[in-house]
Structure 1
Amino acid sequence: MKKSVAIIGTRGYPSYYGGFETLIRQLAPYLSSQGWDVTVYGREGATKTDDPELDPTVKTVVTKGIESKSLSTLSYGLSSSVHASSKKPDVALIMNVANGYWLPILKARGIPTVVNVDGIEWERAKWGKKAKTAFKVGARLTAKFADRLVVDSRAIGQRWEEEFNRHGDFIPYGGSRPGSLAPVESLTSGTYALMVARFVPENSVAEFFDAAETIAQDWDVVIVGSSGYGGEFDDKARQLSTNSSRIHWMGHVSDDTKLFSLWQHAGAYFHGHSVGGTNPALVQAMACGAPIVARDTIFNREVLGPAGIYVAPDPSEIATAICSVLRSKDKQMELRDNAYDRQAAEYTWEIVCKAYESSLIDALGA
């Protein structure tokens, strides 16, 4: 008899919005291929139903919610949890501690839960005081009611053991090694700086924007990302691309082939994320062989190790490091090879998907 799993807390399957969605595009078909009955909960209009890689054996359910920066996760998490409780799957995989509020609903129906706790959301600069409090309470509820936890970095796991006295199964993100891709549009391989990030303060967006003006004196600069809701960072990116023919703002890129090509052909990729554990974009950049200059954080060092160059969140230091890499083809090749090797050894989807299945099976026996 098939084991059934409900996946709650992403935008759906298949979706290209962020790290959780990238994970589910890999994990849901994998679990189905291993004999699981898989249902992924999502939001209307957030998936690509015509995706040629869609696995028809993965069931999808769209529920109602409130589309806003502060209420989306909570509202969709509630409607999905209520629906899942009525169907009573063997186990539920929940993404994000904000959904900790709804774990008692699932627990009351005897449904074991595995929760990916994501990053330390209550410390992110993009959230106001009320949102930070909501995430912290959600984390406490997750610690109390979840049967098993998944942490995507060892540093995050240490925080959960210290603050909540809960152990988490360490499962990072994986990367997909693309074949040889053509450069995007009019860009020349190895001659441009690249940043890929959601426009929030903790991703060093402001610092990179300042650095971009210096870098663009000699090199092209490609910016991928947006806030998703408009605002000052989007306005600044638009201004930069208007004022300089060397700065190209592409907004959010959902085409994996295009995004992978940008990483593959970048002369230097800046990864400015400062919180959140193992970052999916960083792992995928490694799989694409991007020469990486990263903000110096415990999370980025855990993933990259010796495979990257580390800088402080200072525009001058960022610009200096990136220009140094852009000037040296030998340095680019060294960083590319190091990134390839590290990703292949520790951050593949096969490793990740097997670990998630093991965690779900352990929760069934809890």
Structure 2
Amino acid sequence: MKLKIAILGTRGIPNHYGGFEHISEYVSAGLVERGHTVTVYNSHNHPYTKDTWNGVNIIHCYDPEYLIGSAGQFVYDLNCILDARKRDFDVILIMGYTSSSVWGRLYPKQSAIVTNMDGLEWKRSKYSKPVQNFLKYAEKLAVKHSQYYVSDSIVIKQYLARKYDINSRYIPYGADMITPVEREQITPAEAAKEDYFLLMARMEPENNIETILDGYNLSNSAKPFKVLGDTGNRFGKFITHKFQNDSRIEFKGSIFDTAKVRALQNNSYLYFHGHSVGGTNPSLLEAMASEALIAAHNNPFNQAVLNTDAFYFSNPADVKQLVENVQRQETEKLMVNNNLQKIKHLFNWESVVDGYEQYAIECYLNYNNGRIIS
């Protein structure tokens, strides 16, 4: 069965922003390869201006975010939804709900609506209390106005079942294996094998960057600590100021060269993953695929992916202990290899696309038969 599928809720493809754009690239192109007709909605500000990409149809909708800030996302999503109402898509996949679910009453009735429920956005500490309350409301609206749901984490699936009594389909993110070319992207001077610690994250409190660097700052390690991420926001400026006197900490800024990032992950002594809110994090999967030894913040999201194949921390004292005591021996090599096997067999893009294709077909058939998937 070949379907007409639309993907809404992202800034567009190819990816120039984040996780939803990244997965939309792979899923849209993969579905086209399987014979489906796929359309992705792009912001009119997106640098890619053509009407097709790798066989995927692109519809450019007006996005005033550059003029009016975050409120523009709501206008952009409304424009995408209004355009989709004019078309006869079999299935509409909405990536996230933050600025789209408020328009839920306008979702096209002729299409089966599938929403990827994202992480627990309302838990993010960067948001004020009123914004957190709005995000809880938006989550409820997404549940109310969608017929079908995707969770990218088992933890999110369990949360939705407990909170709303809905059965979402678990479909994780994917990651590509590191290539020999990517291993060679940086010079020995930039990354001596296993001679530095590394973290890569947006500069936000819930990513536990301060906790990680506090622990490292207390340690007696002679290895440098490389921090990848844009430090231009308020929290980023706070972090760089706080640790400006620790010459071992190197703030490298954002690096958009994927091959270079993967090589840095591969060559690190220990890769710190501090994300504590959300589902399966793409940067964590990439670190696993890059054969990095991982120390992760101790929370159910990370545990669901890594199981026993990582070190865990909850506070600066834990980080200090890891920095000073972790070894790179047979046990650690086994942890790295186990995570690599997870990428090969559980978090590969082929199986992710298969999951979306199978679920889209099920949703279409069930929606048109007038019943909901149990």
> Which of 306, 309, 312 lines up with 1:307 in the alignment?
309
- For residue 97 of structure 1, report the CA deviation from its aligned partner: 2.0
Aligned counterparts, 1:144-223, within 5 A? 144-180=144-180, 181-182=183-184, 184-185=186-187, 186-214=190-218, 217-223=221-227
Q: For 1:246 and 1:81, how far apart are their aligned partners in 2? A: 49
Question: Would the aligned equivalents of 2:221 and 2:323 in 1 still touch at CA under 8 Å?
Answer: no
Q: For 1:90 and 1:342, how far apart are their aligned partners in 2? A: 33
Amino acid at match of 1:101: V
Change (3 A) 1:184 1:282: same
- For residue 300 of structure 1, report the CA deviation from its aligned partner: 0.7
> Which of 275, 286, 289 lines up with 1:287 in the alignment?
289
Q: For 1:253 and 1:82, how far apart are their aligned partners in 2? A: 36
Matched, 1:61 2:59: yes
Question: Would the aligned equivalents of 1:183 and 1:265 in 2 still touch at CA under 8 Å?
Answer: no
Question: Would the aligned equivalents of 2:3 and 2:361 in 1 still touch at CA under 8 Å?
Answer: no
Question: Would the aligned equivalents of 1:15 and 1:21 in 2 still touch at CA under 8 Å?
Answer: yes
Structure 2 equivalent of residue 232 of structure 1: 235
Q: For 1:86 and 1:58, how far apart are their aligned partners in 2? A: 19
**Bigger mean CA offset, 315-324 vs 189-198:** 315-324
- Per-residue CA deviations over 1:70-97 (Å, capped at 9, x if unaligned) read 4354332222111222233221110112
SS, match of residue 176 in structure 1? coil
**Bigger mean CA offset, 31-40 vs 332-341:** 332-341
Q: For 1:269 and 1:90, how far apart are their aligned partners in 2? A: 43
- Per-residue CA deviations over 1:111-168 (Å, capped at 9, x if unaligned) read 2111000011112211112221221111111111111100011111111111112110
* TM-score when normalising by structure 1: 0.90
Matched residues, number: 358
Question: Would the aligned equivalents of 1:148 and 1:359 in 2 still touch at CA under 8 Å?
Answer: no
Cα RMSD of the aligned pairs, angstroms, is 2.4
Question: Would the aligned equivalents of 2:203 and 2:236 in 1 still touch at CA under 8 Å?
Answer: yes
- Per-residue CA deviations over 1:204-230 (Å, capped at 9, x if unaligned) read 011123234345841121111236x61
Change (3 A) 1:69 1:119: farther
- For residue 236 of structure 1, report the CA deviation from its aligned partner: 2.4
Q: For 1:317 and 1:135, how far apart are their aligned partners in 2? A: 32
Structure 2 equivalent of residue 22 of structure 1: 22
- For residue 243 of structure 1, report the CA deviation from its aligned partner: 4.3
Q: For 2:338 and 2:74, how far apart are their aligned partners in 1? A: 40
Q: For 1:270 and 1:111, how far apart are their aligned partners in 2? A: 42
Q: For 1:159 and 1:331, how far apart are their aligned partners in 2? A: 33
Matched, 1:37 2:37: yes
Amino acid at match of 1:56: N
Matched, 1:322 2:326: no
- Per-residue CA deviations over 1:31-57 (Å, capped at 9, x if unaligned) read 11111221111224445579xxx9431
* TM-score when normalising by structure 2: 0.88
Question: Would the aligned equivalents of 2:160 and 2:166 in 1 still touch at CA under 8 Å?
Answer: yes
Amino acid at match of 1:224: L
Amino acid at match of 2:82: V
Q: For 2:9 and 2:307, how far apart are their aligned partners in 1? A: 30
Which sections of structure 1, spanning at least 5 residues, go unmatched? none
Question: Would the aligned equivalents of 2:151 and 2:172 in 1 still touch at CA under 8 Å?
Answer: yes
Question: Would the aligned equivalents of 1:12 and 1:40 in 2 still touch at CA under 8 Å?
Answer: yes
| Overall identity of the aligned pairs, in % | 29
SS, match of residue 307 in structure 1? coil
Q: For 1:251 and 1:48, how far apart are their aligned partners in 2? A: 24
- For residue 330 of structure 1, report the CA deviation from its aligned partner: 4.2
Change (3 A) 1:41 1:138: same
- For residue 332 of structure 1, report the CA deviation from its aligned partner: 4.3
Change (3 A) 1:55 1:319: farther
- For residue 305 of structure 1, report the CA deviation from its aligned partner: 0.9
Change (3 A) 1:166 1:10: same
Aligned counterparts, 1:116-155, within 5 A? 116-155=116-155
- For residue 336 of structure 1, report the CA deviation from its aligned partner: 1.8
> Which of 298, 301, 307 lines up with 2:300 in the alignment?
298
- For residue 277 of structure 1, report the CA deviation from its aligned partner: 1.8
Question: Would the aligned equivalents of 2:221 and 2:324 in 1 still touch at CA under 8 Å?
Answer: no
- Per-residue CA deviations over 1:57-76 (Å, capped at 9, x if unaligned) read 11222222324764354332
